[in-house]
Structures are given as C-alpha cells and as structure tokens.
A and B are shown apart, each in its own frame.
Chain A
Amino acid sequence: MKQRRNWLATFGAVSLFAFAQHASAQETLTINSFGGAYEKIHRELVITPFEKMHNVKVEVVTAYSADTLAQLRAQKDNPQFDVVHFSGGLEHAAAAEGLLAPIEPAELENHSQMYDFAVAGLDKGIGPTYSTAVIGLLYNTDQISEAPTSWSDIADPAYQNHVLLTDAASNTYGMLGFLMINKVAGGTMDDIQPGLDFVQKILSTSTIVSKSPEIQQNFAQGSAWIAPYAQDYAFTLTKSGLPVKFVQPEEGGVLAPITVNLVAGTDKRDLALKFIDFSIRAEASSGWAEALRYTPTNREAKLSEEVAAQVVYGEGDVAKLNTFDANAIAKKRPGWNEAWSRAIAQ
C-alpha cells in the first residue's frame, strides 16, 4: 500500500513537472490586481478571455497600488511586472520616477474610442484609465424625495444633523470630495481655506467618519441622509438593501481613475500593449459598470438602462467630471491633512 502511494506521488510530481514545463513554454505576462471581488471580476472581464484569445498565461500578483509601487521601485533594474494597475493616483508618481513607459496612441486599437481624459497622460507614461470611480453625493431616498443638485446642498438646513462627511486626512475619497467642496466654495489647489470654512460651518450638525463601513452603518441606522462619497459604494449600499442613490451634482463629480500601465523595461512590450488594449475595449468598460458601478471610460460602452441610471454615463455627463492633479495632491497632502485635522478638531 505504502509503496503504491509512493509510486503515485512520483507519478504526480513528474506530471506536474511536465505540466509546469508546458505552461512555461507558453508566454507569460505578469500583472497585479487588487484581490477579492475586484480581482474575480477582473479575471472574468479581462484576464481569462485574454489568456484564451492569445494562448498565453497571465500571472496575477495580488497587490494594492502602494505595494505595487514599492515593488516597481525595488525592481527598477529588473522589472518582474509587465503591466500594472493603479488606483488613487499613484501612476503619476510611478511615471514621474520613470517606472512606467509612454505609449503611442497608434499602439492601441481602441484609443480612438476613449474619452480624452482617459488617455491624456499616455505620452508621460501614465497608462489609460480603463474605468473610473466617481465621487458625488449619496442620499437616502426614504428621507430625501427630491435628489440634491449641488455640492453646497450638504449645507441645506433641511439635512441638519444628517450630513455625513468622510475624513480627508485618512481617506482618499474623503480628500477628493473635500477638494470638490473647496472648489465649489471658491477655493483652489493653492488655497483650501474656503473649503475648510465651509466644512467648519456645517461641522456642528454633521458627523465625520473615516472608513467606508462606518458610512454603511450610518445609513443603515438612519442617521445619515446625505454624504459625499463614491458611486460604486452607493451600489454596495443598495445591494445590502439600503434606500440609497448616487447623484452627480451640477458642478460635476470627481474622477478617481483606475489605470492600466505599461512597465518601463519589460521585455514583453508587444504582449503587454495587447493586454492594455484588451483592458480598455468597450465590453470590459461596460462590464466594470455592470458589475461594480464604475463609470466607463470607453465612449462605445453600452449599458443597460438600470445600470446607466446608477452611474455617470454618456458624453454630456462625463464631460462634467472634475480632475484634481494627483501630483499636486501628493505634494500638498501632509499640509492639507494637518489643516483638515485642525479644522475639524473638537
């Protein structure tokens, strides 16, 4: 019996080895994804169809943006990644450090279908935005019958004690929402005082939280009626049965792009470009909207009526979206964090 088991083990090891040999004979592309439900959908929409189409193997390393950037820095002379995905604006830092390679528009077949903002940084090494989160207003439809129309509606006395803000110092979406509030209040990237004044004015009748689960709690307990936050999170709340809707205010929402980038110095440039091109095709773009309610960045993306009503969609609405310079945010963030913490301190 024991001998037989040994024999089986040997056979298993040999066949595994043979299989591994076979697999490595296939070309392999190494990318990162963000894990969990996101990675699952990433595989369904892009990775697995790409592997089948080109008969290649895509090696997925689960790593968030900050980890990925750290790995790119460490592997600068001998990059292990071919394509990297970033959220939160880190592609700007990576591109500025020369870790990402520029892409010619002609190298991407789907380039002409993309909205301008989605391919604006190609020449600097910033890869295309393949889908984007949007920060706008979430509101409780049971309590608020008429959808809010402006960012300044969070100061509406009718919503007193039911406004939920997100900490700008510890939460990226919180910071983007605050920058938009600042812009509407008359501030600029060089002067956030108008935004701080605005927040201080409504501070005594608002709640500030730092993590997204707290947003869910506050909506679930009925204490939050209106909150600046992300469109995809509104969907998370809707799925958990809460009467929450997302709306893009008239001043426009804020873009929080998710990008797919070409790593500088990869020896699989052609295949990597094919992958990037495949990531930005219309079907993938609409797939992200269907699955997680991210806004498509490909003009040709077609959405069902139900999904279209829940995301910023269509040329006109997309044109309203605001972008804040990720490099400027990174540089000024420490000072802003401190100013924000002081402004909201009790």
Chain B
Amino acid sequence: MSAGAWRANREPAILLGPGVLFLLLAFFFPAFQLLAQSFLTFGTEPVQFTFEHYAKAFVDEFYAGVALRTFRIAFTITAICLIVGFPLAVIIARAGPILRASLIVIIILPLMTSVVIRTFGWLVILGPGGVISWTLEQLGLIDNSISLMHTEAGIIIAMAQVLLPFLVLTTLGSLSQIPPSLEEASRVMGAGFFQSMFHITLPLSVPGLASGSLLVFALSISSFITPSLVGGVRLQVMAGSIYQQMTGSFDWGFGSALSVILLIVTLLLIVPYMILVSRAGGRQ
C-alpha cells in the first residue's frame, strides 16, 4: 500500500478497528471453531475428520422436522410483523408528538420486560384456565378449558409481540424520510387514501420494511428461550435442540453441525432476499 493510500484510509481503518476486533473475537473465532468441530469426531484418539454429524442431521427425519418447524415459525412471525407493523408505523409517523411518543413506548415495552416475566404473562392469558380459555368457556363456545401454551400458535403470538418493535422502528425510519408533499401531491391528483398508501408510501418504505423483516426473521430463527418456555419440551426448534446437544447430551460435534446448517440456510434465504429488495428499491 502506498503512503498516500494509507493516509486516505487511515481514519476509516481506525474507526473500524474496535468493531472488527470485537467481531473477530466474539463471532468469527467461535464460528470458525464450531465449523471445525462439526467435522471432527469426539472421544476418539486421534481426532478424525468426519461427515457423520452432517449425515445424521440430513438423514434423520426428526431433525428435518425440527428444522422445518423452525423456518415455518420464523416465516409466520415475519409475515405477521409485516402485516401488523407497517400500518402501525404509518400511524406513528403521522401522529402528533404526544400520541407518537406514547405509541412508541407501548410498542417497546415488551422488549424491556424480562423474558421470564413476559412468558408468565402469556401463561396467564394463553394457559389452561387463562383469560382466552375462560372467555370462550363463558361464551359457551367450548366445553373444556383449552390452552395455547405448548402450541406453535402460542410461540408465534408470543414471539411476534416481542419482535414487532424491530420492524416498526426500522420502518418508521424510512417513513419519516418520505416528504409529506409526495402523498399530498398524489391525493391532489385524485388518488384515494389507500391508493396513495399503496403506490407512494409502501414502495418508499421498502428499505425499512426489508431490514426490519430481516431482523425479525433472524431473531426468530435463532431464539430459543421464548419457544422453550411457551412451546414446552415437545415442540423443539433448532436453537433449542442445539442447546440440548451442547449442554444436555454433550454431543458437541452434532450440535456444531446443526449450528452450521442453521447459519448456512439462514444466509441462503437472506442474501437473495437482500439482493431482490435492493433491486426493487432501486427501481423506485
């Protein structure tokens, strides 16, 4: 590198330094270790190279089922957050300062509550003899008390609640950059409220919606505390079964293989999505 190039790049390099160092230590190093572990045998001397962990993960129907459930749940949560979050973000963006602040606080509140307390709150609402079950029973719609605890629906409801702020806040960022005059212009030109919303507001907030939904998807695919507390032991998700392999069965090789698969599949889904979205965004 010439002296001139160094001088030009010096400041960015210094600014990037702490972040890169942290990523190296806290992400790339452990991720690389996991990758190595996933190809090694355990308990044999000497340690050997093997594909057995991957073979088990792919051949075994049980783990395919767990993976399928994980992605199904993550897609559903993302879709719900998009459907609920976009209109909400529009309202917040257009609201007066007081209403706006209080709406934001209400949406962020679940994030600030400990996961244990939040889950116990859901237990009171979703559980057998809980509010939902009691109401349906009083209305005469059901005979026996029902429970949404230990169901996929329960996991989705509880996760969508806590992940919603990620989508709303990022979308809010995009929305606040849209000049109100654009919408006003479209309305003046004779577009109805929903037409203007669909042709002007929605396309212009795509960048926010995209990064928000990516966040929601990535977080729901990797979370295991809420799924294990609300979903119970019978509904395993990938992160939960990795946790169990690592801490319960001490099968680090297989646990690592599952982690690597989760990472790769997530990247395979996310990268094309990002490319697609940036093209769509570019056309506007």
Binding site for B on A (CB under 8 A): 161, 167, 169-170, 207-210, 217-218, 221-223, 333-334, 337-338, 341-342, 344-346
Binding site for A on B (CB under 8 A): 62, 65-66, 123, 127-130, 144-145, 147, 150, 228, 232-236, 241, 244, 248-251
Do residues B249 and A344 form an inter-chain contact, with CB atoms below 8 A?
no
Query: Taking A217-B123, A223-B128, A334-B249 as contacts, is the C-beta distance between A209 and B62 under 8 angstroms?
Result: no
Do residues A337 and B244 form an inter-chain contact, with CB atoms below 8 A?
yes
Bound complex: CA of A169 vs CA of B234, how far in Å?
11
Chain B: which residue is nearest A218 at the CB level? B128
A residues in contact with B66, CB < 8 Å: 345
Q: What would be 5 A-B contacts, judged by CB atoms less than 8 Å apart? A: A170-B244, A170-B248, A207-B232, A334-B249, A341-B241
A residues in contact with B235, CB < 8 Å: 345-346
- Shortest CB-to-CB span from A118 to chain B, Å, is 30
Chain B: which residue is nearest A221 at the CB level? B129
Do residues B233 and A338 form an inter-chain contact, with CB atoms below 8 A?
no
Chain A: which residue is nearest B240 at the CB level? A341
- Shortest CB-to-CB span from B161 to chain A, Å, is 20
Bound complex: CA of A342 vs CA of B235, how far in Å?
10
Q: What are the 7 A-B residue pairs with the smallest beta carbon separation, nearest first?
A: A223-B128, A334-B249, A167-B233, A221-B129, A346-B234, A210-B233, A344-B234
Do residues B145 and A223 form an inter-chain contact, with CB atoms below 8 A?
yes
Bound complex: CA of A323 vs CA of B130, how far in Å?
39
Bound complex: CA of A133 vs CA of B127, how far in Å?
30
Bound complex: CA of A253 vs CA of B232, how far in Å?
26
Do residues A342 and B62 form an inter-chain contact, with CB atoms below 8 A?
yes
Do residues B145 and A208 form an inter-chain contact, with CB atoms below 8 A?
no
Do residues A208 and B233 form an inter-chain contact, with CB atoms below 8 A?
yes
Do residues A223 and B147 form an inter-chain contact, with CB atoms below 8 A?
yes
Query: Taking A221-B129, A345-B62 as contacts, is the C-beta distance between A208 and B232 under 8 angstroms?
Result: yes
Do residues A210 and B232 form an inter-chain contact, with CB atoms below 8 A?
yes
Do residues A341 and B232 form an inter-chain contact, with CB atoms below 8 A?
no
Bound complex: CA of A217 vs CA of B130, how far in Å?
12
A residues in contact with B233, CB < 8 Å: 167, 169-170, 208-210, 341, 344
Bound complex: CA of A217 vs CA of B236, how far in Å?
22
Do residues B65 and A337 form an inter-chain contact, with CB atoms below 8 A?
no
- Shortest CB-to-CB span from A137 to chain B, Å, is 20
- Shortest CB-to-CB span from A101 to chain B, Å, is 28
- Shortest CB-to-CB span from B5 to chain A, Å, is 52
Bound complex: CA of A176 vs CA of B137, how far in Å?
37
Do residues A208 and B234 form an inter-chain contact, with CB atoms below 8 A?
yes
Extra A-B contacts (17), CB below 8 Å, given A223-B129, A345-B65:
A161-B144, A167-B233, A170-B233, A170-B248, A207-B150, A207-B232, A208-B234, A210-B232, A222-B128, A223-B145, A337-B248, A338-B249, A341-B233, A341-B236, A345-B62, A345-B234, A345-B235
A209's contact among B65, B232, B241, by CB below 8 Å, is which?
B232
Chain A: which residue is nearest B151 at the CB level? A346
- Shortest CB-to-CB span from B18 to chain A, Å, is 34
- Shortest CB-to-CB span from B114 to chain A, Å, is 14
- Shortest CB-to-CB span from B36 to chain A, Å, is 22
A residues in contact with B145, CB < 8 Å: 223
Do residues A337 and B234 form an inter-chain contact, with CB atoms below 8 A?
no
B residues in contact with A209, CB < 8 Å: 232-233
Bound complex: CA of A67 vs CA of B65, how far in Å?
36
Chain A: which residue is nearest B243 at the CB level? A170
Max chain A C-beta neighbours (<10 A), residue from B62, B127, B232, B244: B232
Query: Taking A209-B233, A337-B244, A344-B233 as contacts, is the C-beta distance between A222 and B250 under 8 angstroms?
Result: no
Bound complex: CA of A136 vs CA of B130, how far in Å?
29
Bound complex: CA of A192 vs CA of B127, how far in Å?
32
- Shortest CB-to-CB span from B283 to chain A, Å, is 44
B residues in contact with A208, CB < 8 Å: 150, 232-234
- Shortest CB-to-CB span from A242 to chain B, Å, is 14
Do residues A337 and B62 form an inter-chain contact, with CB atoms below 8 A?
no
A residues in contact with B144, CB < 8 Å: 161
Bound complex: CA of A312 vs CA of B228, how far in Å?
34
Bound complex: CA of A334 vs CA of B228, how far in Å?
20
- Shortest CB-to-CB span from B47 to chain A, Å, is 19
Bound complex: CA of A166 vs CA of B250, how far in Å?
21
A222's contact among B65, B123, B129, B249, by CB below 8 Å, is which?
B129
- Shortest CB-to-CB span from B41 to chain A, Å, is 15
- Shortest CB-to-CB span from B22 to chain A, Å, is 29
A residues in contact with B250, CB < 8 Å: 334
Bound complex: CA of A170 vs CA of B129, how far in Å?
26
